[in-house]
Amino acid sequence: MKNFTTVNDIGDLHSAVKEALEIKADRFAYTDLGRNKTLLMVFFNSSLRTRLSTQKAAMNLGMNVIVLDVNQGAWKLETERGVIMDGDKAEHLLEAIPVMGCYCDVIGVRSFAGLKNRDEDYEERVINQFIKYSGRPVFSMEAATRHPLQSFADLITIEEFKEVERPKIVMTWAPHPKALPQAVPNSFAEWMNATDYDFVITHPHGYELDPKFVGNARVEYDQRKALEGADFVYAKNWSAYQAPDYGKVLSTDRNWTVDTEKMALTNHAFFMHCLPVRRNMIVTDDVIESPRSIVIPEAANREISAQTVLKRILESL
Ligand code: CP
């Protein structure tokens, strides 16, 4: 695997999950693979899980790891070509990226959507510049439109916990006070559509996602109806995708919060969320603390998805 930014880069999902579960059973089986190889993790945005799980995954493979928080201690970076750099940005990404590539063998990048200009966000300008100019394999640690390491971990988790062969998965929008990107729901939809699961998306009017990601999923605007018979409930907030409201918060209606009464409509479903989560906005305390909440095993599988991806990249060097 050269780069990892979408579900298409991982190939057959059955093989990928099988490999991930083998790695999970013996995560130090490949400690020689990354010997004398360096991973550079570049963060344009904050992180807890991605930072820790990806570093741990790289260490499991014997790699050295460098972490760069672009907004803390590095020169402020200009990302647009043609800008007269007479402001506070001292360095251009077009020099910074190839320089970063000199010091490592693999690069992970986290760069969220700005939520101001949909075309710019959906062009994935930052991570695509890393792919073009770094000279190194690049993987997404959440880009503007996708979060594939999260979705891969979500898939591994569903495969571990599912109690029926073809579970019903419901991704539900839930309220949040701030505008969040569509990367996690886009990506989750993309990965679920690549399985044979029964996949349903529910959200208020105005929160329609890019049809490219919705694919063949059923969209149901009545959350309660969508949740009926669900085996897994995947809660997430996102801001509006459709113009002219792109990037806006259209609703903070707490009638969409996942609570015990909503979970009672399901087939004794497992509750999932990528974290971090706003309690009693997205989900009530009792649901996230219930025995059917699998948010912690889901987060733990971030180490496994990252290690599987890094292993494949190292094998291709
Ligand atoms: N789920 C996730 O990516 O968490 P962080 O933002 O903390 O990395």
CA of 16 to the centre of ligand 1 (A): 21
Would the CA dihedral through 46, 313, 214, 21 be positive or negative?
negative
* Segment 116-142 mean pLDDT: 97
* Segment 64-82 mean pLDDT: 93
CA angle 39, 43, 48 (to 5 degrees): 95
**pLDDT at residue 39, rounded to an integer:** 98
Examine the pLDDT at 141 and tell me if it is beyond 90. yes
What average pLDDT does the chain have? Answer: 97
Place 112 in a pLDDT band, splitting at 50, 70 and 90.
very high
What are phi and psi for residue 173, nearest 5 degrees?
A: -65, 145
* Segment 222-235 mean pLDDT: 98
CA distance 111 to 307: 20
CA distance 182 to 173: 11
**pLDDT at residue 182, rounded to an integer:** 98
For a substitution probing ligand 1, which of 157, 274, 282 has the most ligand atoms within 8 Å of its CB?
Answer: 274
Which atom of ligand 1 lies closest to the CA of 149?
3
Examine the pLDDT at 3 and tell me if it is beyond 90. yes
Closest CA to 74 of 51, 38, 99: 99
CA of 88 to the centre of ligand 1 (A): 28
Residue nearest to atom 1 of ligand 1 (CA): 274
Share of the chain above pLDDT 70, in %: 100
pLDDT digits (tens, 9 = 90+) for 164-174: 999 999 999 99
* Segment 273-286 mean pLDDT: 98
- Ligand 1: which residues within 6 Å by Cβ? 47-50, 142, 150, 274-276
Place 73 in a pLDDT band, splitting at 50, 70 and 90.
confident
CA angle 209, 296, 261 (to 5 degrees): 65
